[in-house]
Structure 1
Amino acid sequence: MAPNPAHTALWPAPYASGAVDATVHVPGSKSVTNRALVLAALASEPGWLRRPLRSRDTLLMAAALRAMGVGIEETVSSASSPALLSSQPSLSSPSSASFTSHAPGTRASGEAWRVIPAGLHGPAAVDVGNAGTVMRFLPPVATLADGPIRFDGDPRSYERPLHGVIDALRALGARIDDDGRGALPLTVHGGGALDGGPVEIDASSSSQFVSALLLSGPRFNQGVEVRHVGSALPSAPHIRMTVDMLRAVGVAVDTPESGGEPDVWRVTPGALLGRDLTVEPDLSNAQPFLAAALVTGGKVVIPDWPEHTTQPGDRLREIFTEMGGSCELSEYGLAFSGSGAVHGIDVDLSEVGELTPGVAAVAALADSPSTLRGVAHLRLHETDRLAALTKEINELGGDVTETADGLRIQPRRLHGGVFHTYDDHRMATAGAIIGLAVEGVQIENVATTAKTLPDFPELWTGMLGA
């Protein structure tokens, strides 16, 4: 089979000849969108999802739920008639709003998906692509279906850890065929229900293992008690996001933060309410645009940046300020400005690992060394991000060294060249950040950004006034 031209094409990363000054409307959060889709699909009544992200990962989630019997209709405004959800991403960039919960029936303008729960059933086939949320959140949902659900995906998805979810579901009584791999492809033989109850799980390779069980837990006969027994848990903010969203649809959750045992989460069985949710902008996807202000000594405004959020991307305000910028949060959004200088940083990114590629790109352009720690789990993401960042930055003349749990970056004068992405959207945006300050950088397969940030090249060039 001939390679996909989009995967081999080289995109000349735009070079910034001066300070950036732009307002960028960042599309909705993938993490919120996919969690909201699962919760709405398991609810006892229809619900609305306003301003969702339309990207490869979210459309794969929607298509999978539809394959299991869930109805998902799409509207483009409060006055529009619903239409069946497309299987392809939109080429427009939806506007954004803070994540809020409204009473059922409350309508808001803008794009919306109406989710109509139904009896889950097989046989069905689910394509997870390379989406961690799809491959991990949906096997627990499939145990509630009547019939077999087959899960498959991109070749890289076979290498990503899934054993935590598989082992936990088996301990809770599910029947899963995976030929002993502990990974994709696999078939969940749904029995229409699952007893649930207490289960131990090692989620040290992905916090999504915990979120996966919590999201479906209210529908298990006994709810679920998830006890993490491994080493340090990465990306804890994503678990807090899951808990907050469960509570927003009426689920009782006991957590370590609410006085429960450390590393134990308990979900009480019960009905999930159909709600009307509006998705806040994806703050992690705002990273390259904020980095542009920092690298060029300019200013970027991100409208609708929430005052309070569980998104890991909110940590960018602290990280990039320490690296030389300043920010102001108002009712309109976040205004971030660069000072004209970029400083190195010594930072623990264990809770916000997805920010590592962008931070590494900025660090490679800094005036002093950086150490990025606590992110050994990134070796198991869309690609081995630590190895990929080391190789690609060094091939542009950088000096990056892998450590046991992160990267050590010594700034060097960089030069142009090809920056490979390994089908990883965050590698592509990291390369674009470097390209702002280094002429001649070419990004291989920039189209991979469609995984979570549709139209990134257009947003990027628009920011630069092209």
Structure 2
Amino acid sequence: MTVDPWPAPRAHDPVDVVVSLPGSKSLTNRALVLAAISDGPSVVRRALRSRDTSLMAAALSSLGASVDTSGEDWRVTPGVLAGDAEVDCGLAGTVMRFVPPVAGLSTGTVAFDGDPHMRQRPVGQVLGALASLGIRVEDEGRGSLPFRVHGTGHVRGGTVVVDASGSSQFVSALLLAGARYEHGVDVRHDGKPVPSLPHIDMTVAMLREHDVAVDDADANRWSVAPGPVQALDHLIEPDLSNAAPFLALAALSGGSVTVRDWPRATTQAGDALREILTLMGCEVGFVEEGLRVRGPERLQGIDHDLHDVGELAPAVAALCALAETPSHLRGIAHIRGHETDRLAALATELGALGADVTEHADGLSIRPAPLHGGVFHTYADHRMAHAGVIVAAAVDGVLVEDVDTTAKTFPDFARFWASLL
């Protein structure tokens, strides 16, 4: 069914709002995986309820865990990973990459597939690593969905070499399940720099909270010792990357937006918004409720390396298209392998609305230019939808196609966004 593009609302005046955001997808899905392979029941408090996290809960349930998602706090009881199963990855990279190493611990065949767009996203490095650790994988040489993992109830583990330059998730996937392998897992990266390192730091920090020994003293190497994963309740922080369009609203309107409960210390990549928005001329600081951003009279462009925080690139690029001075965003070649080729998509969609954009191999150059209305396509990518609504808040007549793709990490986003404007 085709849905008409959404006439995203315009911010005609400076905004002044305080918002509470749903929980972090990255933290929720890591917490669910660790809970499912731990040594006892646990609770994931304030879990994000979205398509990605629901798919993760369903995937782990199919492998034998009990995941009760009926309340705000999700209760997880590990189970016997036995029998055959099917896993729907949807558009969730964390499901496609984090669950196969767990499936290797099962005693059946686990079939993985997902949405058509998902078949274009790479997972071959994870599958190749699992094969080298003694897990039988069938993917017909594609290195992508669909594929099958044949579990034997036991994984040898040991040392594995991967090229994680395409995604930090390749490393996190192996680390999360590694403690349950006979010899643990020693992951060594060989290739161009690993993107989004904060996400690996997040994985390591959460493993240590579960009393798993992790050695990350050497660059490009992460070693997880074998042993039990201690059951532990998690309280999920707000999703700071999902804060990007809301804080951008303050920046583009010259108003004020406060995000409640912003953590003073966090491993989330979205925390980099504090530095980025300051560079663009915003006033950024902690207040009693959380983090407050006040927009400037004139938004400034930036020259910035987003290698470690590539998920923020769509929102930042949209803001740069509204800035009064040029911008250059670099270090983000890896986001071509996200939900869509985000560099090509951003260059195409911003350019179609009048932006002066040059696409490079690893980034974008954006120069000031008058923007106009039109349809902003999202490519089934929630971050592209964020970029679209940001531009629409500053430009008349922008229609965002498939805004409901935001349900991946923020259910009912469009209604919530419209309520602010």
CA contact (8 A) 2:43 2:74 kept: yes
Q: 1:158 aligns with which of 100, 119, 124?
A: 119
Identity of aligned residues (%): 57
Which consecutive unaligned segments of at least 5 residues does structure 1 have? 77-110
Shift of 1:203: 0.4
Q: What letter is aligned with 1:72? A: V
Q: 2:165 aligns with which of 201, 204, 212?
A: 204
CA separation in 2, counterparts of 1:127 and 1:442?
Answer: 31
CA separation in 2, counterparts of 1:178 and 1:164?
Answer: 12
CA separation in 1, counterparts of 2:266 and 2:287?
Answer: 14
Q: What letter is aligned with 1:221? A: E
Q: 1:426 aligns with which of 383, 386, 390?
A: 383
Q: What letter is aligned with 1:112? A: D
CA separation in 2, counterparts of 1:204 and 1:339?
Answer: 36
CA contact (8 A) 1:24 1:459 kept: no
TM-score, L = length of structure 2 = 0.99
Partner of 1:254: 215
Partner of 2:285: 328
Shift of 1:332: 2.5
Q: Deviations over 1:376-423 (max 9, x none)?
A: 011111000000000101111111111121000012100000000000
Shift of 1:330: 3.4
Shift of 1:74: 3.3
Partner of 1:91: none
1:69 partner SS: coil
CA contact (8 A) 1:211 1:242 kept: yes
CA separation in 1, counterparts of 2:11 and 2:83?
Answer: 52
CA separation in 1, counterparts of 2:320 and 2:237?
Answer: 28
CA contact (8 A) 1:420 1:445 kept: yes
Shift of 1:75: 4.9
Q: 2:372 aligns with which of 415, 429, 449?
A: 415
Partner of 1:129: 90
Q: How does 1:184-203 map to 2 (within 5 A)?
A: 184-203=145-164
1:227 partner SS: strand
Partner of 1:288: 245
Partner of 1:397: 354
CA separation in 1, counterparts of 2:159 and 2:4?
Answer: 49
- Segment of structure 1 superposing worse, 348-357 or 455-464: 455-464
Q: 2:54 aligns with which of 50, 53, 59?
A: 59
Shift of 1:200: 0.5
CA separation in 2, counterparts of 1:407 and 1:165?
Answer: 29
Q: 2:233 aligns with which of 276, 286, 311?
A: 276
Runs of 4 or more, structure 1, over 6 Å off, are none
Structure 1 residue 29 corresponds to structure 2 residue 24: yes
Q: 1:371 aligns with which of 328, 336, 347?
A: 328
Structure 1 residue 71 corresponds to structure 2 residue 63: no
Q: What letter is aligned with 1:167? A: G
Q: Provide the aligned C-alpha RMSD in A.
A: 0.8
2:369 partner SS: coil
Q: How does 1:134-145 map to 2 (within 5 A)?
A: 134-145=95-106
Shift of 1:324: 1.3
Shift of 1:130: 1.3
Partner of 1:47: 42
CA separation in 2, counterparts of 1:236 and 1:331?
Answer: 30
Partner of 1:460: 417
Partner of 2:14: 19
CA separation in 2, counterparts of 1:265 and 1:235?
Answer: 15
Q: Deviations over 1:91-148 (max 9, x none)?
A: xxxxxxxxxxxxxxxxxxxx10010001112310000011110000010000000100
1:286 partner SS: helix
Shift of 1:182: 1.3
CA separation in 1, counterparts of 2:68 and 2:345?
Answer: 39
CA separation in 1, counterparts of 2:213 and 2:92?
Answer: 28
CA contact (8 A) 2:303 2:328 kept: yes
Shift of 1:463: 1.7
TM-score, L = length of structure 1 = 0.89
Q: How does 1:300-339 map to 2 (within 5 A)?
A: 300-339=257-296
CA contact (8 A) 1:346 1:371 kept: yes
Q: What letter is aligned with 2:41? A: P
1:161 partner SS: coil
Partner of 1:149: 110
CA contact (8 A) 1:24 1:463 kept: no
Partner of 2:195: 234
Number of residue pairs the alignment of both structures matches:
421
Shift of 1:331: 4.5
CA separation in 2, counterparts of 1:448 and 1:134?
Answer: 17
Structure 1 residue 354 corresponds to structure 2 residue 311: yes
CA contact (8 A) 2:323 2:368 kept: yes
Residues 223 and 331 (structure 1), Cα distance of their counterparts in 2 relative to 1, 3 Å cut? farther
Q: What letter is aligned with 1:375? A: I
Partner of 2:76: 115
